[in-house]
């Protein structure tokens, strides 16, 4: 079964094609979340770029003879004043039906993917940091979905225009941001902290990029796999301090640095550390599984094309 998934995200738009024998991945950073944060809606340039890219993705899916294609849009399309209208426009121009995911649906998909990745846990809490949002979900494995869920528009791309200048965060801004995150997470932190021994898993491109940087600097070699590696608040605190002392060029020279995420890394480390602090969590593991894995499982299981 040849299937394709198109993700219209807040930082990057991605295509993943699974032919059964191999997986073809393509990604383009459009930074739609930053544009929506600055303008309140998608600009004409955003719309043109997202439409053109979706058309290219559909052409690639057809070239691979994919029988099933699913496309989803996430936080930036929920935040934008013209988000639903832009989804409809892209659908008409590309011939691709796009599902605008609800926040709780996106959170549940990611939690399910992490639960499938770590099936031996009793209780699982996921912290998901993307370009558009910061999400939390918690529940017992074996249940149909998470018992507690919260998703906030506190992603790196969305916050960057207001919290970061050229990749640098003023101390006063960082303090205000940490306070805002802590206040935003009180509803979910109270519920999650009632669960003893809940294992915490970090999901998303930014947590993976931070983990890669931390472990590469520590060992002077890039880890063979990031899946299952752990990071803690001390690691992130050291990284935040390092970022504050280095120029952009010097940051790019760090071994293991993701050049495409370099400017957002200080903000990502700040958000992630405060999220863990707010939940009373010092250490967590990262997972390479995410929403795409749950969606692919759904695609393959459904009798009809999405």
* pLDDT tens-place string over residues 194-207: 556 678 999 999 99
pLDDT beyond 90 at 189: no
Distance between CA atoms of residues 11 and 62, nearest Å: 25
Q: What is the pLDDT of residue 306?
A: 40
DSSP state, 264?
G
CA dist 156 and 153 (Å) reads 9
The answer to pTM > 0.85 is yes
The residue ranges of DSSP E strands in 215-294, in sequence order, are 230-232, 283-287
Q: Is the pLDDT of residue 144 over 80?
A: yes
**Mean pLDDT of all residues in 212-229:** 91
Q: Where in the chain is the domain with CATH 3.30.420.150?
A: 104-290
The pLDDT-based confidence of 302 (bands split at 50, 70, 90) is low
Residues of the chain with CATH 3.30.420.40: 3-101
Residue 304, pLDDT score: 47
Residue 229 · residue 215 · CB < 8 Å? yes
Architecture of the domain delimited by 104-290: 2-Layer Sandwich (3.30)
- In whole angstroms, give the CA distance from residue 269 to residue 246: 15
Least confident of 13-27, 184-198, 209-223, 250-264: 184-198
State residue 18 phi and psi, 5-degree precision.
Answer: -115, 110
pLDDT at 305 over 50: no
Helices (H) and strands (E) in the chain, counts: 13, 11
Q: Identify the CATH homologous superfamily for domain 3-101.
A: ATPase, nucleotide binding domain (3.30.420.40)
Q: Which of 58-67, 89-98, 246-255, 294-303 has the lowest mean pLDDT?
A: 294-303
- Answer for the pair 41, 80: CB distance below 8 angstroms, yes or no: yes
């Amino acid at each position: 079964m040849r299937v394709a998934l198109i993700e219209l995200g807040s930082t990057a738009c991605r295509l993943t094609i699974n032919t059964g024998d191999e997986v073809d991945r393509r990604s383009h950073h459009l930074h739609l979340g930053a544009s929506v944060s600055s303008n309140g809606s998608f600009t004409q340039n955003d719309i043109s770029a997202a439409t053109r890219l979706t058309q290219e993705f559909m052409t690639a899916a057809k070239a691979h003879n994919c029988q099933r294609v699913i496309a989803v849009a996430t936080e930036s399309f929920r935040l934008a004043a013209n988000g639903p209208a832009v989804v409809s426009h892209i659908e008409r121009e590309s011939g691709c039906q796009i599902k605008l995911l609800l926040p709780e649906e996106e959170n549940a998909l990611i939690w399910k993917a992490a639960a499938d990745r770590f099936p031996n846990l009793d209780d699982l809490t996921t912290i998901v940091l993307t370009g558009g949002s910061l999400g939390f979900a918690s529940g017992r494995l074996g249940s149909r979905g998470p018992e507690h869920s919260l998703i906030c528009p506190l992603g790196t791309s969305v916050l960057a225009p207001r919290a970061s200048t050229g990749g640098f965060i003023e101390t006063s801004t960082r303090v205000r941001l940490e306070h805002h995150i802590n206040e935003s997470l009180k509803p979910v932190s109270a519920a999650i902290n009632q669960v003893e021994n809940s294992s915490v898993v970090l999901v998303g491109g930014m947590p993976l990029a931070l983990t890669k940087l931390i472990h590469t600097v520590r060992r002077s070699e890039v880890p063979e796999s990031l899946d299952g590696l752990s990071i803690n608040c001390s690691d992130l605190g050291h990284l935040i301090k390092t970022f504050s002392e280095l120029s952009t060029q010097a940051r790019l020279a760090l071994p293991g640095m993701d050049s495409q995420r370099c400017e957002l890394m200080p903000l990502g480390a700040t958000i992630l550390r405060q999220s863990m602090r707010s939940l009373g969590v010092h250490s967590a593991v990262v997972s390479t599984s995410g929403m795409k894995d749950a969606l692919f499982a759904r695609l393959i299981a459904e009798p009809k094309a999405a």
